[in-house]
Chain A
Amino acid sequence: MGLSFYNTMKKLRILFVAAMLTNVAFAQTTATKSDVGHASVKTLEGKEFNTSAISNDGKPFIIDFWATWCKPCVAELDAINEEYVDWQKETGVKVFAVSIDDSRSMSRVAPYVAGKGWDYTILLDPNGDFKRAMNVNSVPHTFLFDGTGKLVTQHNNYSAGDEDNLFEEIKKLSGK
């Protein structure tokens, strides 16, 4: 025993404290992470918007990737639109519809949305930066997040009736 043991225990003690500290550090960085990818997109007014700011005051939210040229995407957003007022009343859910229309059709998005009568928050992602950050391959791709930004469910297709399944999931999140 003696000095060598004392030195070893000292080293171990330091190691142990360091390990505990790193654990605390990790806890702080991972516990607050949201599943929403980070990218720069634009609002319809031309303002830059960082997607890490996407939230809904602790209530669930949907990020829906679409394009004006994607028929099933538009069909899905039309179907959700028919129920949107009721969905919001019951659960407070919010839809962020991210258009991947590039500069060919990007200028069409605002009038197109107006002509459809949609009430969603529209974001423009003309060069696919947010699409890449969320690892989306093709549209439609719809993500449902809970109030903390944790990904709950997603879907990469649209068939009539999918919006009902989506609403069931949203209701579960709001404890209904």
Chain B
Amino acid sequence: MNKKLLFIGLSLLMIIFSQNCLYAQQSNTMSNLSGNFEVNSQYYRPDSAILAPDVPEKFLSNGFFNLNYESGNFKAGLRYESYLNALQGFDPNYRGSGITYRFAQFTKDEITITAGNFYDQFGNGLIFRSYEERALGVDNAMDGLHIKYNPYKGIVLKGFVAEQRNFFSKGPGIVRGFDGDVQLNDVFDLWADKKLRLGVGGSFVSKYQKDNSPTRILPENIGAYAFRTNLSYGNWLLNAEYANKINDPSIVNNFIYKNGEALLVNINYAKKGFGAQVSGKRVDNMNYRSDRGATGNSLFINYLPAINKQLTYRLSTLYPFATQPNGEMGAAGEIYINCKPGSFFGGEYGTKISLSASAVNDIKQTTVSNDTLGYASDFFAIGDNRYYQDVTFELNKKLTKNDKLIFTYIYQVYDKNVIEGKIEQQQVTAHICVIDYLHKFDSKHSIRTEIQHLLTDEDKKNWAMLLLEYSVSPKWSVTAFDEWNYGNEDPDHRFHYYNASMVYTKGPTRIGLGYARQRAGLLCVGGVCRYVPASNGFNVTVTSRF
């Protein structure tokens, strides 16, 4: 009798299971499970000539694995990270392995609740931005509770209470925040089709950290607020945000009790064929972290975007600019023009031109009678020291059916003293030229070359670079390049920094193998930089998603 029951029971289970599997296959979704992973490893050979640091482990590896589950209104996921040990240039606190991110999320109609880790940004991030930039080792994920609520169309409210990730543990502070965003044209039906679109938003963030100082009375609750607006009319758009933070003495600002302020204004014009953008920025004492003793890239609560254009050609990254949280004032502008085929500059296939300029100075500081305030600074007064300046010109032209040319000229002025924290005063002025040329042999085979040159009388003087990239669409690509510091004053330091790599891509998977003698430099993404020391060796990267 029992055997019969068991047999029937098992058969039923098998029918249920196979039916579900069948349905899963028919809908052929990523089922309810998805994720991605990446591994970056490098083998380091000694190379004292280029000042490559000694790596006793010889082989270093960074890796992560994300797994997400979604079913109806419920979502959960986790990430496992492994640094055994972390690659050179990553903070050595990234050591070991473990689950560093885990969350559960439920969405029902207008409300979304997240428990565990989350990322979010209020406005432009001036008082709150939690994000990940894996290439930089930046991950200031929050860990707590987050609620998002849409009470009415066009209105979004967000609130959270959390601690912040600090490598494999958490920072000492507690952060809480609230944000409201109202897009008036979506709220009021009467405004829905109006040419003028207006939105406003406001946020308040506060952090709590216990005062353990034996010598100072430190504020334990530090609040910051921000107001923003977006206004568009036809082809014009204005985006502005102002932030203010109460006294926040920290190691970064030498424990002064002055307020912090930031202002970001963007105006742009976009009509098919022509685009223009102008932005202005002021930052004054806006270092905001969930540990007043934190330095480097850890425990940022806010994000102060750099105002200058992100440059990507190798030699243009020798002198990269990063936002100075203690104080800076900057302005930038760009125009983009599409010269259509047949027009005067267009030629047969069309030409695209872009021109940009930016400048960043310090803020004018005046002494105050009360020492603890540090200094005073008139909101509209620009300091006298030029931190950074650039002018770039880019011409993008299709010469024939199979040939494309991009010509770039960049003029840079860079204050090495302030930006890299060096002691000797040194302002570097550089002129950079890049020719980026693509030739297609047929629909599958192509070759691309880059010829770059950097001219300067300061620092390491002149550089030249040649790159060749041969691709067989869609799977293979082989690249080789050499950066040569031929102008170096010391003939023994006129090194060739060469690099050869091969990349195989199939669908979501990419595998790269390479060998490089790499120069020391800064790797910057979005105004946040990571210093990478010189190295010599093999590297391998595997990345995929499912």
Closest to B15 in A: A19
Q: In whole angstroms, how far apart are the Cα atoms of A136 and B338 in the complex?
A: 31
- Is the CB–CB distance between B305 and A104 below 8 Å? yes
**Would you give the shortest CB distance from A127 to chain B, in whole angstroms?**
4
* 17 cross-chain CB contacts under 8 A: A15-B9, A19-B15, A31-B23, A46-B183, A46-B232, A102-B125, A103-B129, A103-B305, A127-B119, A127-B129, A128-B119, A135-B66, A135-B546, A137-B543, A150-B29, A154-B507, A161-B445
Q: Which residues of B contact A151 (CB under 8 A)?
A: 30
- Is the CB–CB distance between B303 and A103 below 8 Å? yes
- Is the CB–CB distance between A138 and B543 below 8 Å? yes
- Is the CB–CB distance between B23 and A159 below 8 Å? no
Quick check: is A57 within 8 A (CB to CB) of the other chain?
no
- Is the CB–CB distance between B29 and A135 below 8 Å? no
Q: Which residues of B contact A103 (CB under 8 A)?
A: 121, 124-125, 129, 264, 303, 305
Specify which of A27, A110, A137, A164 is in contact with B268 (CB 8 Å cutoff): A110
- Is the CB–CB distance between A102 and B334 below 8 Å? no
Quick check: is A10 within 8 A (CB to CB) of the other chain?
no
- Is the CB–CB distance between B121 and A108 below 8 Å? no
Quick check: is A91 within 8 A (CB to CB) of the other chain?
no
Quick check: is B477 within 8 A (CB to CB) of the other chain?
yes
| Contact digits for A48-87, partner B, Cβ 8 Å, 1 yes 0 no | 1000000000000000000011110001001000000000
- Is the CB–CB distance between A33 and B27 below 8 Å? yes
| Contact digits for A106-123, partner B, Cβ 8 Å, 1 yes 0 no | 011011111111010000
Specify which of B75, B183, B335, B527 is in contact with A104 (CB 8 Å cutoff): B527
- Is the CB–CB distance between A12 and B12 below 8 Å? yes
**Would you give the shortest CB distance from B447 to chain A, in whole angstroms?**
9
The chain A residues found within 8 Å of chain B, CB to CB, are 4-5, 8, 12, 15-16, 19, 22-23, 26-27, 29-35, 38, 44-48, 68-71, 75, 78, 102-105, 107-108, 110-117, 119, 126-129, 132, 134-138, 141, 150-151, 153-157, 159-162, 164-165
| Contact digits for B264-291, partner A, Cβ 8 Å, 1 yes 0 no | 1010111111111101000000000000
**Would you give the shortest CB distance from A129 to chain B, in whole angstroms?**
7
Q: In whole angstroms, how far apart are the Cα atoms of A46 and B396 in the complex?
A: 29
- Is the CB–CB distance between B270 and A113 below 8 Å? yes
- Is the CB–CB distance between A161 and B473 below 8 Å? yes
**Would you give the shortest CB distance from A46 to chain B, in whole angstroms?**
5
Closest to B266 in A: A107
Closest to B275 in A: A111
Specify which of B29, B75, B120, B438 is in contact with A127 (CB 8 Å cutoff): B120
Closest to B447 in A: A160
| Contact digits for B148-192, partner A, Cβ 8 Å, 1 yes 0 no | 000000001000000000000000000000000001001000000
The residue among A126, A129, A138, A160 with the most chain B CB atoms within 10 A of its own CB is A160
**Chain B: interface size category:** 35 or more
Closest to B512 in A: A157
Q: Which residues of B contact A127 (CB under 8 A)?
A: 119-121, 129, 131
Q: Which of B34-42, B247-255, B374-382, B531-539 contacts A (4 or more CB under 8 A)?
A: B34-42
- Is the CB–CB distance between A23 and B545 below 8 Å? no
- Is the CB–CB distance between B545 and A137 below 8 Å? yes
Quick check: is B440 within 8 A (CB to CB) of the other chain?
yes
Q: In whole angstroms, how far apart are the Cα atoms of A160 and B436 in the complex?
A: 14
Specify which of B19, B336, B474, B505 is in contact with A23 (CB 8 Å cutoff): B19
Closest to A68 in B: B310
- Is the CB–CB distance between B270 and A110 below 8 Å? yes
- Is the CB–CB distance between B268 and A111 below 8 Å? yes
**Would you give the shortest CB distance from A105 to chain B, in whole angstroms?**
6
Q: In whole angstroms, how far apart are the Cα atoms of A104 and B129 in the complex?
A: 12
Specify which of B15, B20, B508 is in contact with A154 (CB 8 Å cutoff): B508
- Is the CB–CB distance between A46 and B508 below 8 Å? no
Q: In whole angstroms, how far apart are the Cα atoms of A111 and B545 in the complex?
A: 32
- Is the CB–CB distance between A29 and B72 below 8 Å? yes
Q: Which residues of A contact B446 (CB under 8 A)?
A: 159-161
Q: Which residues of A contact B269 (CB under 8 A)?
A: 111
Q: In whole angstroms, how far apart are the Cα atoms of A105 and B543 in the complex?
A: 26
Quick check: is B239 within 8 A (CB to CB) of the other chain?
yes
Quick check: is B460 within 8 A (CB to CB) of the other chain?
no
The 10 closest A-B pairs by CB, nearest first: A115-B336, A111-B275, A161-B473, A159-B471, A114-B275, A104-B305, A114-B270, A107-B266, A160-B446, A157-B505
- Is the CB–CB distance between B232 and A111 below 8 Å? no
Specify which of B27, B352, B438, B546 is in contact with A160 (CB 8 Å cutoff): B438
Q: In whole angstroms, how far apart are the Cα atoms of A135 and B443 in the complex?
A: 30
The residue among A19, A23, A111, A150 with the most chain B CB atoms within 10 A of its own CB is A111
- Is the CB–CB distance between B336 and A12 below 8 Å? no
- Is the CB–CB distance between B473 and A30 below 8 Å? no
**Would you give the shortest CB distance from A16 to chain B, in whole angstroms?**
6
Known: A128-B119, A153-B507. 20 other contacts (CB 8 A): A12-B12, A30-B27, A30-B29, A32-B27, A35-B30, A46-B183, A46-B197, A105-B526, A110-B270, A111-B334, A113-B275, A117-B340, A117-B350, A127-B120, A129-B119, A135-B35, A138-B543, A154-B507, A159-B471, A161-B440
